[in-house]
Amino acid sequence: MVNIMNKDRYLAIATLVIVGILLIESGDIPGKSSWQPYGSAMYPRFLLALIALLSLVLLVRSFLTAKPATPQSTATFHSLAGWFRHYRIIIALFGLFGLYALLLPMLGYLISTTLFMVSSQGLLLGCDTRRKWLINLGITFTLVPLVYAIFQYGLNVWLP
């Protein structure tokens, strides 16, 4: 099966869909008052129209300048599983950060940040040797309290 999608087409279609949703949402913006030359929706709608126009140009251009698919270009991410395998570390790191943001208000800065630092360093550095564990824990237990102290006591910024 030939994959007809490429980066430009994904980008153009996703942008057009989002622009469509935002244009519908712009219907909720109050209309112009008697003293305004234009309403509050005019400027963002103008921007959305330009974004849609450029996305359409990108989409059309992607068909006009399309190169024939080579086995090499289609082989890398033949399936969704292949894509996930290639980007597994990136996805995992984004996931860990999302989890960190979620846990921060529940567990507080010290615990949630310690968990994030240990897990993300473990993910990137590995945890197969004693040395790696020492580096991981050393950095975590030095930096996490240090940043807390600087913000809390030096800058008077309260962390959760």
Q: Interface residues with other proteins (CB under 8 A)?
A: 7-8, 10-11, 15, 22, 25-26, 28-30, 33, 36-38, 40-41, 43-44, 47-48, 50-51, 54-55, 57-58, 61, 89-90, 93-94, 97-98, 100-101, 104-105, 109, 113, 116-117, 120-121, 124-125, 135, 139, 143-144, 147, 150-151, 155-160
Residues 6+ apart with CB under 8 A from 40: 29, 30, 32
What does residue 158 show for φ and ψ, rounded to 5 degrees? Answer: -80, 125
Which spans in 78-129 are helix H?
Answer: 80-86, 88-125
Q: Which is nearer to other proteins, 78 or 150 (CB)?
A: 150
Residues 6+ apart with CB under 8 A from 102: none
Least distance between other proteins and beta carbon 31 (Å): 9
Least distance between other proteins and beta carbon 2 (Å): 21
Least distance between other proteins and beta carbon 141 (Å): 13
Instruction: Determine what percent of the chain falls in helix, strand and coil, rounding each to the nearest 5.
Output: 75, 0, 25
Helix (H, G, I), strand (E, B) or coil at 29: coil
Identify the H or E element spanning 8: helix 7-25
Least distance between other proteins and beta carbon 67 (Å): 9
Q: Which is nearer to other proteins, 74 or 95 (CB)?
A: 95
